[in-house]
Amino acid sequence: MLPLWFDLSSRKAVVFGGGEVGRRKANYLASEAEVVVVSREFVDGFLPSVTLRRGNVEESLQEMVRWADLVVAATNDPGLNGIIAEEAARQGRFCNRADGLSTFLIPSVVERENYKVAVSTEGRSPGMSKFLRQELDRLLDRRYDRMVALQEDLRRAAKEAVPSQREREERLWEVLQDSGVWSALESDAGKARELAMRIVVR
């Protein structure tokens, strides 16, 4: 499988299953997509933007898969999840199956203001995905977020001052390897920018 980022702001997703797994997946997708959850019962904690549709999964299966761009099979019945995945494949929809092979995966995500890091073991070990996310969350301190913002600023300045794209890239990379800039980012963003500018615009 290939890791990709997709803009889901104009897409639709249906989640079959109103338990904790279905809630987690629905809430994740609802940060961008329009999400409907189909189930006989629902746990608490679904985001307000998620539509909860109470009913029999089998009765609405074809209709909801046809409506959706993405399908999630998250019921507590492996046989039913298999039927959902088969219907998604028949209609040419990507399907995430909570208990089996999937055609798209929902990763563990470390999210900062200026960047995101996604982790997946491709279904081999959900626990390890969670562990790696927690480790990255601990290791990626605020300097990395600040460096993204600084690099964005430096790119604009470099485009005006350095005609060669290759040279711009080399200078921006030089900033990333400069220990003085990284050290300054911990406490003085202004000083870090000053040091970085000396490298990029010289």
| pLDDT tens, per residue, the chain with 202 residues | 899 999 999 999 999 999 999 999 999 999 999 999 999 999 999 999 999 999 999 999 999 999 999 999 999 999 999 999 999 999 999 999 999 889 999 999 999 999 999 999 998 898 999 999 999 999 999 999 999 999 999 999 999 999 999 999 999 999 999 999 999 999 999 999 999 999 999 8
Where helices occur in the chain by DSSP H, the ranges are 20-29, 57-67, 78-90, 126-139, 142-161, 165-176, 179-185, 189-200
Q: What is the CATH number of domain 1-106?
A: 3.40.50.720
Taking the C-alpha atoms of residue 167 and residue 11, their distance in angstroms, rounded to an integer, is: 40
Which of 3.30.160, 2.40.160, 1.10.10, 1.25.40 would CATH assign to domain 107-140? 3.30.160
